[in-house]
Amino acid sequence: MSSFRVEGGHRLKGEITPQGAKNEALQIISAVLLTGEEVTIHKIPQIRDVLKLIDLLSDMGVEVTENGGESYTFKAANVNLDFLNTSDFKEKAAALRGSIMILGPLLARFGTGRMPKPGGDKIGRRRLDTHFVGFEKLGAKFNYDPQTSFYTVDGRNLKGAYMLLDEASVTGTANIIMAAVMAEGLTTIYNAACEPYIQQLCKMLIRMGANIEGVGSNLLRIEGVTTLKGTEHTLLPDMIEVGSFIGMAAMTKSDITIKNAQIKELGMIPDTFKRLGIKMNFNGDDIHIPAQEHFEIESYIDGSILTIADAIWPGLTPDLLSVILVTATQAKGTVLIHQKMFESRLFFVDKLIDMGAQIILCDPHRATVIGLDRAYPLRGITMTSPDIRAGVSLLIAAMSAEGVSTIHNIDQIDRGYQFIDDRLNALGAKIERVG
């Protein structure tokens, strides 16, 4: 198991470009199964989860060509469905939660799909009901075998239908969209997720020949088509990386410019960090965060304590709450962090408390952070990363702390952030990969 040895207290300076969006990549790469023609995708992040999905598609018979510069061409002309019955498929698909995204395309084009119960971060309940209920609405038959932990879906005669999703699941919406684009007739999806990643998927499918209306809203209308063609697509910058770099700059008193951040696609992320008192300058699509000795958390107009909570888009993405929590520890003022969607995602705050942070964990969903304006710097400790987002948050804390920290289980961080140690060391960080 690899670890990071982090020497804290170093200010960073320079420019950094965010990787392509991981969550978008998993959907877009799965969508190549919808056509036998070539699909070229640019800005694919070189991270473990994405590369595992590409490897899985290759094993299924998809021709994968690396074009260089984070660009790949896929051609799913000869998909081997028999591979879905192998132990190799079970092992690889179960190790990757994003593998669930191939079900929708398989149903749409081949009328069948199998999937072992997927893994992923242990951040609370992450049910898959939205995916399968949506498939059933389209006429698919669903079965789960607890003995083999396999989901099987038969969708040989998918037909358009009206559905009101029980939750605005991003992956659930994406999977249903990909199944519906080749279903017979009209599909109406209400309470659809409308994150930029979903919008990107819809725009790509439209270029492939799909008929989708309502892109960007929570009401989608999809008229099924019989075939889809190839296309070319460029992923958005990863908004989670952008937010992580903003918090990192504030915590380490650094002067950083985030290049090509696609600011209009970030929603309320910049404004949320501004409410923590972090200054930012926008120059086109670049974000400049000047070095700040101090930043102060806003309060509400009536003087009450600020609450920052996650919400479905256009609300704040839950993936950034851990970074925001860490950043608030060195601010001046108090903030209540409310993690609504996942009940285990705040269970890394014990490490921050060991580092000297003033945090009260109210319950599994809420934590009160008391920022003491850098009066008591965090101190380096040895800790273990529990998941991707908490892992990078602990890395940010370690970079701002006095002394040396060791972070174990950094494979979790590698699943979401490409070459993060090399990229930050280029700005002046002191991060050593060991083990």
Q: What is the DSSP string of 176-188?
A: HHHHHTTSBSEEE
Mapped onto helix, strand or coil, the DSSP state of residue 110 is helix
> pLDDT tens across 182-226, in order?
999 999 999 999 999 999 999 999 999 999 999 999 999 999 999
Query: Taking the CB of residue 143, how many other CB atoms lie within 10 A of it?
Result: 11
Residue 37 is given by DSSP the state: S
pLDDT at 344: 77
State which residues of the chain have pLDDT below 70: 119-127
> What pLDDT does 400 receive?
98
Reference 273, options 331, 312, 313; nearest CA is 331
Q: Is this model's pTM higher than 0.75 or not?
A: yes
Q: What is the pLDDT of residues 267-315, one digit of tens each?
A: 999 999 999 999 999 999 999 999 999 999 999 999 999 999 999 999 9
pLDDT digits (tens, 9 = 90+) for 156-179: 889 999 999 999 999 999 999 999
From 49, 88, 121, 310, active-site residue: 121
DSSP letter for 256, please. E
Angle (nearest 5°) at CA 357 between 359 and 389: 80
Amino acid 345: pLDDT: 85
Closest CA to 251 of 299, 292, 296: 292
Active site (annotated) includes residue 49:
no
Q: Is the separation of the CB atoms in 381 and 351 below 8 Å?
A: yes
175, 322, 372 from 184: Cα distances, Å: 17, 43, 60
Phi-psi region of 422 (alpha: psi -120 to 50; beta: other; left: phi over 0): alpha
64 by Cβ neighbours in 10 Å (0-12 / 13-18 / 19+) ranks as middle
